Structure 1
Amino acid sequence: MSIHVVLFQPEIPANTGNISRTCLGTGATLHLIHPLGFSIDDRMVKRAGLDYWKDVAIKEHSSLDDLYAEYPAGSYYYIENFGSRHFTDVDFSNPEEDIFFVFGRETSGIPTELLAGKEEQCLRIPMTDSIRSLNLSNTAAIIIYEALRQQGFPEMT
């Protein structure tokens, strides 16, 4: 089973850097959907990813459709604060499954037209109504580690 983190048109370089570090530490692949709101050579990305940046498995795609075409058998989950299910309600333990967690832009999320017909794959993390959303890099870490917990933390010490 492979875990994939998909950032749809990310805008904040430090979030992408932090997520890249989490991906490396968990064996997840990071997918970046263009256009990006920064250059991946940006010092803020590399600073957040520290000296690990060069070791992260990163793939870039021009669109979500390009990602879907490259991984047609993947299981895609869209992380949004209006998701129809909690992230803990999904079974991520199938060792044969490639799981893709898709996260939207920090300011506006995933465009609703891209989610049409995918409502059952929209997941959310429970939180109070005192904030609009959690930080993107924190959210990615929560979701990745839930999937790994269900798998028994394979190849991790």
Structure 2
Amino acid sequence: MRLALYQPDIPQNLGAALRLCACLGVALDVIEPCGFPLTDTAMKRAALDYGDKAKVARHASFAAFRATPERQSGRLILIETDGALSFMDFAFSTGDTLVLGRESAGSPGELYEAAQASVRIPMVRGLRSLNVINAGAIVLTEALRQTGAWEKF
């Protein structure tokens, strides 16, 4: 199981994702370019004391991300407000990568085209969206439950 951030805009969200992935033992993919300078110093600052515990892969572009060996198997599952299926009704697999779009602009067409599925979190009518990392944490928790990953802790 992996979590991927597509061109993140907000450094604090990257920090929250690093901490989430470190604590849950999930690899994090950061698909650049980011909306902020992503230097080694910035990564260390964002990760706080969890940096050495997080498994992070940086990708210069979406094409570079898709060309990695991890992408040759497993599915891309897009988490979006207009996802086709509730995340609770989706059957996750251990090789899945959960993809989160940009905070400011959502997911572009290339993410929808590349994804094998899109899931949403049911919400109260009239409300637009959750924080992107909160959404990722909710769906990741269910994916880990379904695939038996919680038994590893």
What TM-score comes out, normalization by structure 1 length? 0.85
1:36-115 equivalence runs, <5 A: 36-41=34-39, 46=44, 49-70=47-68, 71-92=71-92, 94=93, 97-115=94-112
Equivalent in the alignment of 1:144: 140
Q: Tell me which of 31, 34, 37 is aligned to 1:33.
A: 31
Q: How has the CA–CA distance of structure 1 residues 82 and 49 changed in structure 2, closer, same or farther, with 3 Å as cutoff? A: same
Q: How has the CA–CA distance of structure 1 residues 150 and 114 changed in structure 2, closer, same or farther, with 3 Å as cutoff? A: closer
Q: How has the CA–CA distance of structure 1 residues 69 and 117 changed in structure 2, closer, same or farther, with 3 Å as cutoff? A: closer
Q: How has the CA–CA distance of structure 1 residues 76 and 114 changed in structure 2, closer, same or farther, with 3 Å as cutoff? A: closer
Distance 1:58 1:146 in 2: 21
Distance 1:130 1:123 in 2: 19
Q: How has the CA–CA distance of structure 1 residues 113 and 44 changed in structure 2, closer, same or farther, with 3 Å as cutoff? A: closer
SS in structure 2 at match of 1:116: helix
AA aligned opposite 1:88: M
Is residue 10–residue 37 contact of structure 1 (8 Å, CA) maintained in 2? yes
Question: Residue by residue, what CA displacement relative to the aligned partner does 1:79-136 show, whole Å, maximum 9, x if unpaired?
Answer: 11001101111112x4xx4110010000111102441374x60110111233221001
Report the RMSD for the aligned CA atoms in angstroms: 2.1
CA shift for structure 1 position 40: 3.5
* Count of equivalent residues: 150
Greater share of residues in helix: 2
SS in structure 1 at match of 2:136: helix
Is residue 7–residue 104 contact of structure 1 (8 Å, CA) maintained in 2? yes
Q: Does 1:125 align with 2:121?
A: yes
Is residue 8–residue 32 contact of structure 1 (8 Å, CA) maintained in 2? yes
- Percent identity over paired residues: 38
Q: How has the CA–CA distance of structure 1 residues 55 and 125 changed in structure 2, closer, same or farther, with 3 Å as cutoff? A: same
